[in-house]
Amino acid sequence: MKHLIDIKDLSTDEINELISVAKDIMSNPDKYAEKCKRKKLATLFYEPSTRTRLSFEAAMMELGGNVLGFSDATSSSVSKGESVSDTVKVVSGYADIIAMRHPKEGAPLVASLKSEIPIINAGDGGHNHPTQTLTDLLTIQCEKHRLNDLTIGVCGDLKFGRTVHSLIVAMSRYKNIKFVLISPKELEIPEYIKKDVLEKNNIEYIETNDIEEYMGKLDILYMTRVQKERFFNEEEYIRLKDSYILDKQKLENAKEDLCIMHPLPRVNEISVEVDDDKRACYFKQAKYGKYIRMALILKLLEIK
């Protein structure tokens, strides 16, 4: 039985296969409409979510399956003190697959050790978010038609942004990838990502706090929200929250075929005036999330 806890759980071939199944689903949705008949997905969300939970639920429904679960831990037995392991053991008896989001790093991994059904990490604290990364890879493949030869600017909260960590890990296996890491000093990328991922794989990267400095070189600009819920100090959050606001003027030197991404939710990082720019891909990106999750559910349930 396979879980998806970390994007590293998938080989490059498996990722490519998921992307090609997702594309096939987009072109032939009817072919997949009954693939998960009588199967159930449980969404155990101990932390807020809109896109991830709803796209998982929509994905299972479009495969002909059903969904159950909770979107707020206070409405479940967690509020009575039940452990994640016990909850998962019980839910294993009710569902066929679980998508779990948790504020604690490593909680889905712990859950997977006790689970009798596949567990998908739908975001664990400031650590990882592998299904967002699959969404991002499908977006890049569909919008740029390649996963190699890309200069990727990642901007915002690189310290706590779990989508950034998973994306860098995933992209570091493709050829000729360069990163421009744009953040204030306080929100720089963690050392382990630099040492164990970027440097270990000989990936070129530059760190800067200036969003415009390398704008003209970027193929992708991945904006992120400052992760309020991971701050210990509200004053620090207020000081840093508007560090970067992408607007039309900042895009003046950008390439014509730049792809602007954002995992969403957006707070202030992208001015709404950018939404009409043909390079804005973030709402499309959210749509791609449903298709790649459909492909992932099929894979983990071993449905052809």
Q: Which residues bind ligand NCD (CB under 6 A)?
A: 51-52, 123, 129, 132, 162-163, 225, 263-265
Structure tokens at 256: 């014509």
Instruction: Output the smallest distance, CB 204 to ligand NCD, in A.
Output: 26
Of 71 and 163, nearer to ligand NCD (C-beta) is 163
Q: Which is nearer to ligand NCD, 32 or 291 (CB)?
A: 291
73 contacts: CB under 8 Å, gap ≥ 6: 45, 46, 47, 79
- Would you say 255 or 287 has its CB closer to ligand NCD? 287
Which ranges of 198-281 would DSSP assign to H, the alpha helix?
234-240
Contact 191, 121 (CB under 8 A): no
Query: 52 or 243: whose CB is closer to ligand NCD?
Result: 52
Q: Are 241 and 226 in contact (CB under 8 A)?
A: yes
Strand partners, 207: 181
Question: From the CB of 120, what's the least distance to ligand NCD, in Å?
Answer: 13
Structure tokens given for 52: 């991830």
Q: Which two tokens stand for residue 65?
A: 């399956």
User: At its nearest, how many Å lie between ligand NCD and the CB of residue 292?
Assistant: 13
Q: Residue 61 Cβ, how far from ligand NCD at the closest point, in Å?
A: 19
Q: Which residues contact 272 (CB under 8 A, 6 or more apart)?
A: none
| Cβ pair 119, 98 in contact under 8 A | yes
Of all helices (H) and strands (E), which one includes residue 119?
Answer: strand 119-124
For the CB of residue 52, give the shortest distance to ligand NCD in the complex, in Å: 4
Q: Which is nearer to ligand NCD, 112 or 132 (CB)?
A: 132
